[in-house]
Amino acid sequence: MTTSVTAPLLEVRDLGVDFDIGSGQLHAVRGVSFVLRARDRLGIVGESGCGKSTVVLAMMGLLPPNAEVSGQVLFNGVDILAGGDSSMRPHRWCDISMVFQGAMNAFNPVRTVGDQIAEPIRMHRKASRRDADKRVGELLDMVGIPASRAVRYPHEFSGGMRQRAALAMALACGPKVLLADEPTTALDVIVQAEILQLLRRVSDDLGVALVFISHDLPAVAQVTERVAVMYAGRVVEEAPVSRLLTAPLHPYSAALLAAIPRPETAAAVCSIPGEPPGLDTTVIGCAFAPRCVSVLDNCRITEPPNIFDGEGVIACHLATSAGLPR
């Protein structure tokens, strides 16, 4: 199976992350699993604190020391989490790289942008300065920045250009998997649309698999083929984007969808009342039950299992009961 062409490039199996905070534990991620094949594009959406950033930081091995990670992250069939930092290091940035949240504001202000993009190339690929500079020119060109701007400083770039540069940096070592954490948040609509187009094009042209994290469902829908909806550390629904946006099965996915303002229709948006549960509480039953409009008695008692229905995964008692369209 692993030798077939469609073998998973990256597989996340039952990933869990707890943070030890002295006074107790925070359960940030619980039982997250997904599979990425080459060129796959997966979106992860959810509210702040649902664990989506923690998932990708765990995949990069970049969580702080008080994080306890369980489960597996298989890259080409090999668990890169198992051996700690030494097993992660050869893959980091070369095979799996990342556009960090707020990356556009994380450039060192006193070094040129080109110099900073060259750094991972020289570190990981052991390239000479000259080769690295040549590669920087190619990378900038690919993300739509004139190569001549490499000698400029971050303050001479607009926000959108810095975000493009952050993407160029993530692509510097030719990764197979790109993790993009909120790459369009805090950008203006026009720049956001340009970055979404760019992400699509880059992943098509380079054949890079993409994990795109955002709380903005429409932005994700513009780029990815599949979407995983996270709530309170768990993936509650994963489905093809077309199904998730037209016929969501999980009440939380439906509520997220109803919260999107749509200027073309005058439909009122509906906020989701209440707050997600605190990460320090042990969830009994379904974590979404207190805010769910379709809650059943069982939802407050037992945690819904993951149900595979051929197209996707859903964790909801409604999906197992007869009432829900399948």
Partner 1 sequence: MNTPLLELSGLTVRYPVRGAGIFGRSGRPVVHAVEDVSMTLEAGQIVALVGESGCGKSTVARTIVGLQHAASGQVIFEGADLTGLRARALRPYRRAIQLVHQDPYDALDPRMTVGAIVEEGLRIHQVDRGDRDAIVRRSLERVGLTPADSVLDRYPHQLSGGQRQRVAIAAAIALTPRLLVADEPVSMLDVSVRASVLELIDDLRRDGLAVLIITHDLAGAVMLADRIAVMYFGRIVEEGPVGEVMEFPAHPYTRALLSAIPSPDPAVRTKPEVVPGELPDAAHPPRGCAFASRCPVAEPACGISIPMLAAVGSGHRAACFRLTPR
Provide the binding-site residues for partner 1, judged by CB under 8 A: 47-48, 144, 158-161, 186, 188-194, 196-197, 215-219, 221-222, 241-242, 245, 255-257, 259-264, 268-273, 275
Residue number with CB closer to partner 1 (49 or 174): 49
Q: State the minimum distance, in angstroms, from the CB of residue 218 to partner 1.
A: 4
Q: What are residue 180's DSSP bridge partners?
A: 99, 212
Give min distance, CB of 66 to partner 1, in A.
Answer: 19
Nearer to partner 1, 192 or 203 (CB): 192
Q: Is the Cβ of residue 81 or residue 198 nearer to partner 1 in the bound state? A: 198
Nearer to partner 1, 147 or 257 (CB): 257
Please report how close the Cβ of residue 226 comes to partner 1 at its closest, in angstroms: 11
Q: In whole angstroms, how close is the CB of 130 to partner 1 at the nearest point?
A: 30
The least distance separating partner 1 from the CB of residue 158, rounded to whole angstroms, comes to: 5
* H-run or E-run covering 35: strand 25-36
Is the distance from CB of 257 to CB of 271 less than 8 angstroms? no
Q: What is the dihedral of CA 79, 83, 85, 88, to 10 degrees?
A: -20
Buried (b) or exposed (e) across 203-238, using 16+ Cβ within 10 A?
beeeebbbbbbbbbbebbbbbbebbbbbbbbbbbbb
Nearer to partner 1, 112 or 192 (CB): 192
| Residues 73 and 59 sit within 8 Å (Cβ to Cβ) | yes
184 closest CA partner among 150, 223, 151: 223
Instruction: Specify the 3-state DSSP secondary structure of 196.
Output: helix
For residue 258, what are the CA distances in angstroms to 170, 235, 242, 304?
34, 19, 15, 23
Nearer to partner 1, 102 or 174 (CB): 102
Closer to partner 1 by Cβ: residue 20 or 188: 188
State how far the Cα of 292 lies from the Cα of 231, in Å rounded to an integer: 12
**Which residue, 23 or 48, has its beta carbon nearer to partner 1?**
48
CB of 47 to partner 1, least distance (A): 5
Query: Min. distance of Cβ 223 from partner 1 in angstroms?
Result: 9
Tell me which long-range contacts 201-205 makes (C-beta under 8 A, separation of at least 24): 202/142, 202/143, 202/167, 202/171, 202/178, 203/39, 203/41, 203/178, 204/39, 205/142
Q: How far apart are CA 30 and CA 170, in angstroms?
A: 27
CB 227 to partner 1: min, Å: 9
The alpha carbons of the chain give a radius of gyration, in whole angstroms, of: 20
Report the alpha-carbon distance of residue 234 to residue 313 in Å, rounded.
Answer: 12
